[in-house]
Structure 1
Amino acid sequence: MLLTRPLLKYCGNHSLEDIQVTVDSGADYIGVVFAKSKRQVEAKQLQEWLKATALRENQKLVGVFVNPTLKELDKVFASVSLDILQLHGHESIQFLKSVKERYSCPVWKVIHHTEESFELMRSFAGVADGYVIDKKTSSQWGGTGIRFDWSYVPAYIEEAQKQSVPIMIAGGINPENIGDLLPYKPIGIDLSSGIEQDGRKNRQKIEQLEKRLT
């Protein structure tokens, strides 16, 4: 099937209202952050939100973690069934293998754009089930609202295609600059702060963004 638009992941949902807005959107993936951050959620909270607003049949729930322990992951899985695990830290190849074996769900590895990022991405070939390319700062692993040099996007896509896995482009994407990214033909787009108003997911911003993809 030929994609008519990039896959969409709306991440950093941290309230029932956020979940309601993104479930009602064109999102393919709904992301929640369990790592320490301003958008951190607790598994029990999320469990209640999903009882009030269930994801649509075609949507997948993505849990975002930074250098978690298996015990921390166990605690989340005891309350919530995640469709995809997204690992945002310095997790090793062996850790990814252990996680996949333990939970039987796809694991996406976040690659932070640097001079070494392509070598790192290649090292996870055959282990990572997908990638998110992001930009981090000295104080934040993601959700920074900062973009990397998008001229590298085709090379990341090429590597992901060699590995036959999906890839999402993240970092500083919003309705105003999405037109600059589209010529690079991203397979997937991951947004958080770019679709927020006053720290909450904003229906109008999402609608504006999705109109630019049609």
Structure 2
Amino acid sequence: MEKILIVGATGSTGKRIIEILNNSQSFEPVAMIRKEEQKSIFDDMEVQSVLADLEQDDFSAALKGIKKVIFTAGSGSKTGPDKTTEVDEKGAIKIIDAAKKAKVKKFIMLSAMDADEPSKHKELEHYLEAKAKADEHLRNSGLNYTIIRPGRLTDDMGMGRVKLATKLDEAGEIARDDVAFLLIMSLADPLVKNMTFEAIEGEEPIKSAMIELSKG
């Protein structure tokens, strides 16, 4: 089984990914945690965890034996510019570089819709700019990657149906459940390889939407 490091494991989307992967026959999730007291959450799930912080500089221990990375960490759109830069931009860039050094096979990034047009959303501009810089660094890293830019995240039950495009012509929302499945499906090597795309709730089943998108 391939070991998958989940960065942002204690967040809502990260936890959902771990729950799903924990029942997989192909992948073994490893939760990256910032505090020792968070370990018990994953011990109860019988999931391995590693202690590391995006504000540190050495991720070699966290990446030992890891084949792929799913990055779901984020300071949140309501966080101030300094913290956003530290986590969403600098932290992401540091672990991308560490993943390349560790010869990770694929890096999957949870970004944000309109990260390529931060000025469209003045109240989110600093957040989207940080996401955009991390995305660009990943694209230029030489790693195999997938960058998913979802619309507004909701805690609704996922319907398993989405609308995907490299650039959508409409805004929208999407359940965290469905985003988790998009991120997990991206672990499959042929799918959405070296692609950046936006995602909102739609009519097409996730798997067929991703296959269609991969065909270009």
State the TM bucket, normalised to the shorter chain: 0.3 to 0.5
Higher relative contact order, chain-length normalized (CA < 8 Å, sep 6+):
1
TM-score by length of 2: 0.41
More strand by share: 2
